[in-house]
Amino acid sequence: MKKNITDFKLKNQRVIVRCDLNVPIKDGVILDDTRIKACLETIEHLVSAKAKVIILSHLGRVKEEKDKETNSLRPVADKLSELIGRPVKFVPYTRGMEVENAINSMEPRDIVMLENTRFEDLNGNKESGNDSELAHYWASLGDIFINDAFGTIHRAHASNVGIAKLLPSGIGFLVKNEIEKISSALNNPERPLVIMLGGAKVSDKIGVINNAVKIADYVLIGGGMPYTFYKALGYNVGLSIVDDSSLEFCRNIYSQYKNKILLPEDIVVASSISEGASTRITTYADIGSNEVGIDIGMATISRYKSILMNANTIIWNGPIGMFEIAKFSQGTRKVVEILSSSKAKIVVGGGDTISALNKFGFNNKRAHISTGGGATLEMLEGKELPGLSAISDK
């Protein structure tokens, strides 16, 4: 068992908390503050326990000097201050005198946020390369380290793995909840366990499919992925998305797990990828050379529905069709409706999948909606998470 935030005496301690405050920002305005709200519980706990709270986070990618202009955490510090109802002192540096002075003058319950950890990537990729000098420097600023950034827990960076190895460390409430919910669905599911996978590319999800066929009772395939399977099985898929590097994989896994892997029987094909395109429903064996598969058909929806309604655990990643275009969104919308009324234990992960949930009014209070797309996928692959492994054991 990993230590968590409740295992520490926090009073008067300088607690470095790694959050995932990587929110979308345009022209200095935060477009979606979900991720800031998601770490409030941990920050509020630290404040009420009278800790000195030092927040680290990344924001976007910082590859060249000009990326700094659009990737400052300052608007995030302001937003956090508004949400938590306390001052959040923003220090526009990742190291140096200003940082040290701000921390040395902290009182218990104060909150300080440093600048985007990835500014250190301009300094020889120190953050993303888990540089030891940087990790030692940051660790020297605190007494305890709490990792509450689920979104980067599958990465070994200086601000999560590096610091965790140098200080007494634990996970925050957000990470604890994510790990518990996803692990229990994967490792100890109430059966039947149904894993539904969609999205665009098979190659992104080979590891997930490989693990899914081992642990699930059914693996439902949708989105852009069926076409690589169909092509591998010898059918013409027209202009549908195909991942040629995964043909061999699809052929093998399908022949081995035919009884578990379900492919759409009927699909919606379009003359082009646009709202004005003409569409028709057809079988996988009848896709025209100038047609593109963009959604699952009604027969497939009802087949998947009966499997989903019978499931006691459902894990979903990847939209079932090109839901961004209204005309191609029926399959994904139906799936969202089915999951809204499901009594199963549900875990949903993936940035686009969560956009689909929001777009189609997902309404199921008991479902677990993960804050980390990449981290969830790695858990679905059965991989170890470096950010978690680095945390002290109880």
Question: Residue 353 binds which one of ligand ADP, Mg ion, none, with CB within 5 to 8 A depending on kind?
Answer: ligand ADP
Q: Is 224 in the site for ligand ADP (CB under 6 A)?
A: yes
Structure-derived torsion over alpha carbons of residues 349, 248, 230, 245, reported in degrees to the nearest 10: 60
d(CA 255, CA 201) in angstroms, rounded, equals 20
Report the alpha-carbon distance of residue 280 to residue 268 in Å, rounded.
Answer: 6
Listed ranges 29-37, 136-144, 192-200, 335-343: which one lies at the site for ligand ADP (CB under 6 A): 192-200
Give the footprint of ligand ADP on residues 276-335 (CB under 6 A).
293-294, 317-319, 321-322, 324
Print the SS3 string covering 258-299: CCCEECCCEEEEECCCCCCCCEEEEEHHHCCCCCEEEEECHH
Contact at 8 Å (CB) between 37 and 86? no
- Is residue 352 at the binding interface for ligand ADP, with CB under 6 A as the rule? yes
**Contact between 199 and ligand ADP per CB under 6 A:** yes
Is residue 131 close enough to count as binding Mg ion by CB under 5 A? no
Question: Which of the listed partners (ligand ADP, Mg ion, none) does 319 bind, with a CB threshold of 5 to 8 Å by partner kind?
Answer: ligand ADP
* 300 vs 281: CA distance, rounded Å: 11
Separation CA 42–CA 111 (nearest Å): 12
Place of tokens 């996970």: 171
Check binding of 134 to ligand ADP (CB under 6 A).
Answer: no
Q: According to CB under 5 A, which one of 352, 354, 368, 386 is a site residue for Mg ion?
A: 352
Cβ partners under 8 Å of residue 104, min gap 6: none
Binding-site member from 24, 124, 288, 351 for Mg ion (CB under 5 A): 351
Beta strand 266-270 pairing with 292-296 = antiparallel
- Contact assessment for residue 91 and residue 113, using Cβ atoms and an 8 Å cutoff: yes
Region 152-191 residues binding ligand ADP, contact defined as CB under 6 A: none
Contact letters (x/-) for Mg ion, 225-244, by CB under 5 A? --------------------
Q: Which residues pair with 266 in a beta bridge?
A: 283
- 246 in contact with ligand ADP (CB under 6 A): no
Q: Among all residues, which ones are annotated catalytic?
A: 35, 201, 351, 374
Is residue 241 a contact point for ligand ADP (CB under 6 A)? yes
Report in angstroms how near the CB of residue 321 gets to ligand ADP at its nearest: 5
Give yes or no for a contact between 380 and 374, defined as CB atoms under 8 angstroms apart. no
Contact flag: residue 124 with Mg ion (CB under 5 A) = no
Closest CA to 323 of 237, 238, 224: 224
Contact pattern for Mg ion over residues 310 through 349, marking x by CB under 5 A = ----------------------------------------
For residue 160, give the amino acid letter.
N
Task: Determine if 264 is a binding residue for ligand ADP (CB under 6 A).
Answer: no
Cα separations (Å) of 355 from 4, 296, 321, 336, 349?
30, 19, 13, 11, 10
Shortest reach from residue 125's CB to ligand ADP, in Å: 26
Which segment (114-122, 251-259, 274-282, 350-358) binds ligand ADP by CB under 6 A? 350-358
Q: Which residues bind ligand ADP (CB under 6 A)?
A: 198-200, 204, 223-224, 241, 293-294, 317-319, 321-322, 324, 350-353, 373
